[in-house]
Amino acid sequence: MRPAQRRQPGLQYGLVLLASQAMNFGIDKIPPATLLGMAVQSLLYAGMIKVPWNPEDVCISTLKILKHKDWRSFVVSNFEHGSDMHLYYNMVSFLLKGSYLEPMYGTANFALLIGLLSLGCSSMYVFLGYALTQITTDYAYYTSCAIGFSAVLFALKVIVVCEEHDRPTDVGGFRVPSKFAVWAELVLIHLLVPNSSFIGHLGGILVGCLYCYTFVGEIVDSKLSTITGRPIIHEDQFYRRRTWRF
């Protein structure tokens, strides 16, 4: 999503909705890393965490990274949001995905995985911006600037689909196989929310696919397990051996 000016500290409607949703879900039922991620991003948006930048300062673009070496934006852009409703929808999505994956993977593994997915999504955004500029000669791909957690959420969506196999999913009122749902959501959001970042969402899907369906996921699992001392257990180890099944 396009960046906005830093808002004044205080509650906004989206923050109230998010707090209500979290309480209805049960604060004690939200896994710790997921709860911490929601809290930090909410407090950051509300201006209650003091940082030396505004959202527009840290939006990510291929130009800012490749030409200006703006590594702060490379890291921070995924955790800023452009509006209270942008934050609300992203955090509710994170609540559901985190509550499913974190107990399965373990809190430490999940927290580190979120960090790696964030860096992967930023890298993919820069790559896609550069590649699409070269292919289409449209410089807008090179300069397009975005913030938000959506790319990481799309990566997590792919991982959830990988774990759940072929459970039907509702997308825009239509029931579709889960393996197609993330692509349907990509198109639907692009059509219904013109201000959203198509490149960012696509990048998140590709990062999720790299984790789930290639050797990259095996390397990541091995390294995370070495660091935390707990193996990452998937629902179906054979299914998870990185094959996209149609």
The predicted structure's pLDDT at residue 56: 86
pLDDT: is 95 or 177 the higher one? 95
For residues 224 and 245, give the distance between their C-alpha atoms in angstroms, rounded to a whole number. Answer: 26
pLDDT digits (tens, 9 = 90+) for 3-38: 544 454 555 889 999 999 999 999 999 999 999 999
Task: Quickly name the fold that domain 13-243 has.
Answer: Rhomboid-like fold (1.20.1540)
The predicted structure's pLDDT at residue 61: 97
For residues 132 and 155, give the distance between their C-alpha atoms in angstroms, rounded to a whole number. Answer: 20
Instruction: Indicate which residue of 77, 118, 144, 201 is catalytic.
Output: 201
The predicted structure's pLDDT at residue 238: 42
Q: What is the mean pLDDT of residues 88-94?
A: 97
- Are residues 142 and 153 in contact, defined by beta-carbon separation less than 8 angstroms? no
Q: What is the mean pLDDT of residues 131-150?
A: 96
Instruction: Indicate which residue of 42, 83, 144, 150 is catalytic.
Output: 150
pLDDT digits (tens, 9 = 90+) for 231-246: 998 876 544 444 444 3
pLDDT digits (tens, 9 = 90+) for 154-182: 999 999 998 887 666 666 666 776 777 88
Closest CA to 98 of 54, 148, 39: 39
Q: What is the mean pLDDT of residues 211-228?
A: 95
* Residue 68 CB partners (closer than 8 Å, separation 6+): none
- Are residues 80 and 44 in contact, defined by beta-carbon separation less than 8 angstroms? yes
pLDDT over 90 (residue 127) = yes
150 is catalytic: yes
Residue 83 CA to its chain's centroid (Å): 16
Average pLDDT of the chain is 89
Query: What does the chain come to in residues?
Result: 246
Q: 3-state DSSP call for residue 11?
A: coil
Q: 3-state DSSP call for residue 177?
A: strand
For residues 240 and 33, give the distance between their C-alpha atoms in angstroms, rounded to a whole number. Answer: 24
Closest CA to 113 of 189, 11, 28, 31: 31
144 is catalytic: no
Backbone angles phi, psi at 235, to 5 degrees: -60, -40
